[in-house]
Amino acid sequence: MNPRYFPLAATIAIFIVAYAVCIGQYPNMLSTRVIGNLLTDNAFLGIAAVGMTFVILSGGIDLSIGAVIAFTGVFLAVLLEKTSIHPLVAFALALAITTAFGALMGAIIHHLEMPPFIVTLAGMFLARGMAFVLSIDSIPIKHPFYATLKGIYYKLPGGGRITFIGGLMLVVFAAGILIAHRTRFGANVYALGGGAPTARLMGVPIGRTTILIYALSGFLAGLSGIVFSLYTSAGYSLATVGVELDAIAAVVIGGTLLTGGSGFVAGTLVGILIQGLIQTYITFDGSLSSWWTKILIGLLLFAFILLQKGLIHLTDRRRRHA
């Protein structure tokens, strides 16, 4: 097997084993209801994590997504409360703002040649600050269109439901996989992650690709904000603090190399599901505290970093012998 697939295979194996262990203890976890909830509860995180996957594949990092999600939620809530425009128009406005915001960060990263870490940190402060300026209260959203969207679902055999937002996450993942592996932009992202000088020599438009990557991440963070506002029916500027860490963790657990250049969007989905599974297990158990989620995710993160290190070591040795 190609060593490129090892981390993905390991992630899938861990998910299957973990799920089997959970079912062994609580047979009810096999039901489609649990699976449907797994998708619905993690929809906003999953959509944001797709954007993060592209950013990390290109060798960057985006710390702003949690703040952008919160900003989108507050923006929608304020807009729907103060004006009478249709939510769909508000969605389009929110997406336009977050996409432009991401593109701006990408432009700063490229043109000022600064580390993405500190630029997106400034972006995080700015987005969170804008959310605070819009409103510091939690604003409920009571538009009937929200109720309509929340009422859409596909009924699975066994009583489970794939809700609108759960389905949207799956669609976004499918689109992400297509973009990553079947378009020129996707190839450029992988090339950029392999090393900017090499990519430049290969003729990859570095500037345009960098800006597009962060614009995509901003767009998906905005979409994730819309999903989060559908999920909670409210906008709150203190919501989704630290989601960027969960997204980064999901990407790494999904087998994407944090130095960039190698990984799969599909792996991120499994990474999200593993995190969701840990939370579901803790809910089923009832006696375990929720902080175990953090510790387990930290441990998984560590294990996968070690696995990646080992693989790089292995392929290096093989190349040297060849």
Partner 1 sequence: MTSTLKAYAIRLFPQVAALVVILLMVSFAFPDFFRLEMQNGRLYGSLIDILNRGAPVALLAIGMTVVIATKGIDLSVGAVMAICGAVAAACITSGYGLVGTLLVTLGTGILCGLWNGVLVAVLDIQPIIATLVLMVAGRGIAQLITEGAILTFNDPGLIFIGSGSLLGLPMPVVIWLVFGLVVSLVVRRTALGMLIEALGVNRRASMLSGVSTGVLLIAAYVLCGLCAAIAGIIAAADIRGADANNAGLWLELDAILAVVVGGNSLLGGRFSIAASLLGALIIQSVNTGILLSGFPPEFNLIIKAAIIVLILVIQSPRAQSAFVFLSRSQGAAPAKTEEEAK
* Residue in 123, 254, 261, 276 binding partner 1, rule: CB under 8 A: 123
Backbone angle region of 264, left / alpha / beta, with phi > 0 → left and psi within -120 to 50 → alpha? beta
Residue 174: both structure tokens together: 């499918």
The residue whose two tokens read 């960057």 is: 60
112 binds partner 1 per the rule CB under 8 A: yes
Which one of 23-31, 82-90, 117-125, 165-173 is the stretch in contact with partner 1 (CB under 8 A)? 117-125
Q: Mask of contacts with partner 1, 10-39, x by CB under 8 A?
A: ------------------------------
To partner 1, the closest distance from the beta carbon of 293 in angstroms equals 7
Long-range contacts of 176-185 (CB under 8 A, 24+ apart): 176/50, 176/53, 176/54, 176/265, 177/264, 177/265, 177/266, 179/54, 180/53, 180/54, 180/57, 180/264, 180/265, 185/209, 185/212
90 binds partner 1 per the rule CB under 8 A: no
Question: For residues 281 and 297, is the Cβ–Cβ distance under 8 A?
Answer: no
Q: Mask of contacts with partner 1, 128-147, x by CB under 8 A?
A: xxx-xx--x-----------
In the region spanning residues 34 to 73, those forming contacts with partner 1, defined by CB under 8 A, are 61
To partner 1, the closest distance from the beta carbon of 190 in angstroms equals 19
* Residue in 23, 100, 126, 282 binding partner 1, rule: CB under 8 A: 126
Could you give the dihedral angle defined by the CA atoms of residues 166, 170, 176 and 177, in that order, rounded to the nearest 10 degrees?
A: 160
Q: What's the rounded Cα separation, in Å, for the pair 76 and 94?
A: 7
To partner 1, the closest distance from the beta carbon of 287 in angstroms equals 12
Antiparallel, parallel or unpaired: β 161-163 and 139-140: unpaired
To partner 1, the closest distance from the beta carbon of 33 in angstroms equals 28
Q: Mask of contacts with partner 1, 234-273, x by CB under 8 A?
A: -----------x--xx--x-----xx--------------
Contacts of residue 27, defined as CB under 8 A and 6 or more positions apart, other chains included, come to none
Which one of 4-12, 78-86, 119-127, 280-288 is the stretch in contact with partner 1 (CB under 8 A)? 119-127
C-alpha separations of 292 from 23, 111, 245 in Å: 19, 42, 16
| Residues facing residue 163 across a β-bridge | 153
Backbone dihedral angles phi then psi of residue 3, each to the nearest 5 degrees: -60, -15
Output 3 or 298, the one with its CB closest to partner 1.
298
Point out which residues bind partner 1 (CB under 8 A): 61, 108, 111-115, 117-119, 121-126, 128-130, 132-133, 136, 245, 248-249, 252, 258-259, 289, 291-295, 297-299, 301-302, 305-306, 309
